[in-house]
């Protein structure tokens, strides 16, 4: 599942870059229809969640080692 998310995010990044910075076409905004922007929000939330879990685990381990 994570691999799918990573590959699709990389693909959408290339698609957005191509549509908004390289394309001279008036239909470049259709990229937003076919490759949704909420995917990038999901990536950011997933990374924040992973970071929070990792930092939380370190805090709990530090707290447990100090309590003994």
What was the pLDDT predicted at 60?
64
pLDDT given at position 51:
81
Alpha-carbon distance of 44 to 21, in angstroms, equals 22
Give the C-alpha separation, 29 to 67, whole Å: 57
16, 3, 49, 41: CA torsion to nearest 10? 20
- Please list the pLDDT of the chain residue by residue as tens digits (68 residues): 677 777 877 888 888 788 778 877 777 777 666 767 777 787 788 888 888 877 777 766 766 676 55
User: What is d(CA 68, CA 66) in angstroms, rounded to the nearest whole number?
Assistant: 6
């Amino acid at each position: 599942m994570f691999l799918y998310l990573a590959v699709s995010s990389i693909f959408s990044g290339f698609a957005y870059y191509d549509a908004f910075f390289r394309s001279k076409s008036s239909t470049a905004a259709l990229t937003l229809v076919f490759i949704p922007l909420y995917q990038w929000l999901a990536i950011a939330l997933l990374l924040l969640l992973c970071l929070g879990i990792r930092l939380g685990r370190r805090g709990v381990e530090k707290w447990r080692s100090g309590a003994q």
